[in-house]
Structure 1
Amino acid sequence: MVLRSQDTDTSSRIWLTVLVCGLGYFVDIYDLILFSIVRPESLRAIGVLPTQMQDASEIILNAQMVGMLIGGLLFGALADKRGRLSVLLASILMYSVMNIANAFVSSVPMYAMFRFLSGIGLAGELGVAITLVSEVMPKHSRGYGTTIVASMGILGAVGAYVVHQLSDWRVAFIIGGVMGLCLLVMRVRVRESGMFNKIEDAPVARGNVFMIFTRQRIGTYLSSVAIGVPIWYVIGILVTFAPEFTKEGGGSTEILAGQAVMWAYVGLAAGDLVSGLISQFLKSRRRTILLFLVLTSAAIAWYLFTPAKSAALTYLQTGVLGFAVGYWAVFVTTAAEQFGTNLRATVATTIPNVVRGGLIPALLVFAALRKSDAVLFSGQPLVSSAVIVGGVTMLIAFIGLVFLKETYGKELDYLER
């Protein structure tokens, strides 16, 4: 009777951890993607001219991504040194306050600065949450937990779109910040990972980024990054600039950026759920990722080479693109499973943020190509640039997958020395 009560209590604590991490990621994605949704309206409100819109968008997006690169490194290392929970709390507090500050911007430099600071805070949520859930759940079922976290989180983009439809862009930023502050109260009931507690006093380096740069680990780390590169190419370029792509192809001029993002994230949420379940059914992370990479390649080709699209078709295509790159949960889980407890949060937090940060060079190359004379398709500089950048990102992902080890069912209670 006592044992059954203890088992029930343990199970309840595990699922509470999953729920709270999922809600945390919901708020994280809400805040992360809100700029893409309110981009045209907010930039017009601070005086950006239509001819400056593309350049201003790229500056602000790059600032956010640089912040996420820095935040991923900072919060990941701290989570391995100080514990998973304290870092989650610090991450939430920082991005909540900074998103409220975003509501009061009045210029592009100010907007970029606050998105940079928001990015630092936003970077800590997912990797640490996935690490915590992976460590508290049984090894053969942890894929379900991480899938739930990712699927709940991705719906934050839908929440951001709905809130924006019911309010203006400044209020939407404030609501995101307030939701994050409310979430801090829920974190109080979540306990620290038992695996981390066991190594807290162990004579071993924790959160040492330089441990990644050994011959044994650097290949695994880079391969883990490579498989996620197409995800942010799709979201940050193809979906974010859906109105521009559709217009260039002779299609509808009434595409709403926020609605395109919303449908992409509806697809992402569905893709995360399906990819997570497939990885459990196949008992293989690698085969699941391969399946979704092939699907991503096909979805990109369909999106870029369909002329004269209606608004409905564009929204459908962004949803399909989102579903195709909906292996995000499997990708982050695989990254977390590749490394030992004393380095796991560092890796699980930096890898998705390096992938997000990969949008910076992708955007720079994309911008340079669209302004150059090297056009593959006459009169279509956006499509020409996207084909080149997309082809490179997909090639990187397939090469990375070849060198990545299978981690399904792997025992995680070990140390990196």
Structure 2
Amino acid sequence: MKNPAAEPSALSHLLSLPVIVSALGYFVDVYDLIVFNIVRVPSLKGLGLNPEEVSILGSQIYNWQQAGLLIGGIVWGILADKKGRLSVLFGSIIMYSVANISCGFVQSPTTYAFLRFVAGVGLAGELGAGLTLVSEILPKHLRGYGSSIVASVGLLGAVVAFLTNSWFDWRTTYFAGGGLGLALLALRVRLYESGMFEQAKVQRIQRGSMWAFFKDAGRFWKYMRCIGVGVPTYFVIGILATFSNEFGKALGISEEIVSGRCVMYVFIGTVIGDMFSGVLSQWLKSRKMAIGIMTTMTLVGVLFYLYGGITEAQAFYVTCAYLGFSIGYIAMFLTVTAENFGTNLRATATSTVANFVRATTLITLPLYQYLKPSFGVISAGAIVALLCFAIAYTSLFWMEETFHKDLDYVE
């Protein structure tokens, strides 16, 4: 089969400025999004909290960030469909960069929670607007490759965040992330708006409406399915990786498990997984089959993580890397979201779906914490996992195949 990515014209599309800048934007986005997961324990200990407070307040601060993502996803998504993709790519990066620099000066958990909320609002706009722009400027036979490039480069931000924290203290880690975001602004000046959006802008149609997803039953369930297929990804990131120190102790691993290291391994795996899933979907000519394969691989990994009898730290870290690889369909389900909706609602759908998936920890994390005293760490994790995968498989079963879909249309 002829590989379109090997053709010069295809390469020129895939290496165009919007793709490169969107990928770098997602790199900074992931760095600033995941930095709290990495510095959660050392930063809260640095503020004088004891281990119990680190766990409880750490969960609360993390959920403030996720709440910001939830609100920001709606705000930025609507703005991207009303005012343009570029307005979001500029505004969001300024907000989350300033918020992350401010986190480097924090002195109390209350201020910390507020700043993570502000950062969450800002971070919510990056991925959805970037992938929407890339999906609209690339030919349909290259969209899978484009999403893989954006995701793979972007997810390396988590690795850089971990390495930065290894070399410097947690405050400097925040300063570096915010500085990278502000530096990226210079590249964004040269970006151009999506042609599809410019065409939709002159039409007399409603753009950027959340209500549009709820007033039509078919559109509503299509929207919910896009969220549902992504739920396992943030179960792995938000619970299994972020609270891996608790799972390691519950499994009886003698060596202390470092949560930041687990997060890093998960994201290293995700970088490779996102490249794999994009190529897999192109080879299969099916988004649904690629997502189904990756979801099943994730289920196998979660079962091994919880019940595989892991006793060594090294094996635990390798399992985290595998789980990262298996959830490497994040950009894929967001590409599917972009392909499911017309130009007038596309950015709203993609931005809100991305952040609603991230914000599922607002439900799964409190549920895990609630179940933990009665069932224990392992069983509590398993119950939450069962819920997440039930939602994902049900959503995937009813999802529309969008591989060959032309995106130049409106709702």
What TM-score, normalized to structure 1? 0.95
Question: Counterpart in 2 of 1:405?
Answer: 400
Q: CA deviation at 1:310?
A: 1.4
User: Following TM superposition, by how much is the alpha carbon of 1:8 offset from its aligned partner in structure 2, in angstroms?
Assistant: 7.4
The one of 326, 329, 334 equivalent to 1:327 is 329
What does residue 86 of structure 2 align with?
85
Per the alignment, residue 3 of structure 2 pairs with: none
- The aligned counterpart of 2:339 is 337
Supply the distance in 2 between the matched residues of 1:212 and 1:165 (Cα, whole angstroms): 44
Matched, 1:240 2:235: no
Q: Which residue pairs with 1:69 in the alignment? A: 70
Counterpart of 1:358 (choices 357, 360, 377) is 360
Partner of 2:165: 164
**Quick check: 1:142 aligned with 2:136?**
no
Q: CA deviation at 1:199?
A: 1.4
CA distance in 1, matches of 2:13, 2:140: 17
Tell me the equivalent position of 1:294.
296
Shift in Å at residue 35 of structure 1? 0.6
AA paired with 1:49?
N
Pick aligned residue for 1:277 from 258, 276, 279? 279
SS of residue paired to 2:141: coil
Among candidates 380, 385, 391, match of residue 386 of structure 2 = 391
User: Which string of whole-angstrom CA distances, capped at 9 and with x for unpartnered residues, describes residues 110-153 of structure 1?
Assistant: 11110000000000000100000000000111111111001111
Structure 2 match to 1:267: 269
Matches within 5 A, 1:15-54: 15-54=16-55
Q: Distance in 2 between matches of 1:137 and 1:62?
A: 35
Shift of 1:91: 0.5
Partners of 1:120 and 1:153 in 2: how far apart?
19
CA distance in structure 2 between the aligned counterparts of 1:414 and 1:325, rounded to whole angstroms: 30
Shift of 1:306: 3.0
Shift of 1:10: 11
Deviation at residue 21 of structure 1 after TM alignment: 0.3
1:257 is displaced (CA, Å) by 1.4
Q: Secondary structure at the match of 2:385?
A: helix
SS of residue in 2 equivalent to 1:189 = coil
- Give, in whole Å, the separation in 1 of the partners of 2:205 and 2:244: 49
Residues 21-50 of structure 1: CA deviation (Å, up to 9, x unaligned) = 000000000000011111110000001111
Tell me the secondary structure at the aligned position of residue 409 of structure 2: coil
Q: 1:253, CA displacement in angstroms?
A: 3.3
Q: Which AA in structure 1 matches 2:73? A: G
Shift of 1:314: 1.1
Q: Is the alpha carbon distance of 1:88 and 1:388 closer, same or farther for their aligned partners in structure 2, counting shifts above 3 Å?
A: same
1:211 aligns with 2:242: no
Amino acid at match of 1:414: Y
Change (3 A) 1:88 1:57: same
Give the direction of change, closer, same or farther, for the CA distance of 1:308–1:317 in structure 2 (3 Å limit): closer
The CA distance in 2 between the partners of 1:166 and 1:10, in whole Å, is 36
2-side partners of 1:328 and 1:163: how far apart? 24
Equivalent-residue separation in structure 1 for 2:258 and 2:188 (angstroms): 36
CA contact (8 A) 2:368 2:384 kept: yes
Matched, 1:57 2:64: no
CA contact (8 A) 2:10 2:142 kept: no
| Structure 1 unaligned spans of 5+ | 1-6, 376-380
Superposed displacement of residue 254, structure 1: 2.2
**Equivalent pair of 2:125/2:351 in contact (CA under 8 Å):** yes
* Partner secondary structure for residue 250 of structure 1: coil
Structure 2 contact 31–177 (Cα < 8 Å) conserved: yes
Q: What displacement does 1:216 show?
A: 2.1
Structure 1 counterpart of 2:402, one-letter code? T
1:243–1:253 Cα contact (<8 Å) kept: no
* 1:31–1:176 contact (8 Å) kept in structure 2: yes
- Percent of aligned pairs sharing the same letter: 45
Q: Does 1:118 align with 2:119?
A: yes
Cα distance in 2, alignment partners of residues 151 and 114 from structure 1: 27
In structure 1, give the amino acid aligned to 2:236: V
Q: Which residue of 2 aligns with 1:194?
A: 195
Give me the whole-angstrom Cα distance separating, in 2, the residues matched to 1:204 and 1:22: 31
Report if aligned partners of 1:14, 1:137 keep a CA contact under 8 Å in 2: no
Q: 1:249–1:309: 8 Å Cα contact kept in structure 2? A: yes
Structure 2 gap ranges (5+): 1-7
Alpha-carbon offset, residue 52 of structure 1: 1.5
Inter-CA distance 218–164: structure 2 relative to 1 (3 Å threshold):
same
Contact map agreement 2:13 2:138 (CA 8 A) in 1 = no
Query: How far, CA to CA, are the matches of 1:296 and 1:41 in structure 2?
Result: 29
CA contact (8 A) 1:14 1:136 kept: no
CA RMSD of superposed structures (Å): 1.5
> Which residue of structure 2 aligns with residue 3 of structure 1?
none
- The CA deviation at 1:252 is 2.9
Scaled by the length of structure 2, what TM-score is found? 0.96
Residue 9 (structure 1) shift: 12
Question: How far is the alpha carbon of 1:105 from its aligned partner?
Answer: 1.1
**C-alpha distance in 2 between matches for 1:105 and 1:310:** 36
Shift of the alpha carbon at 1:307? Answer: 3.2
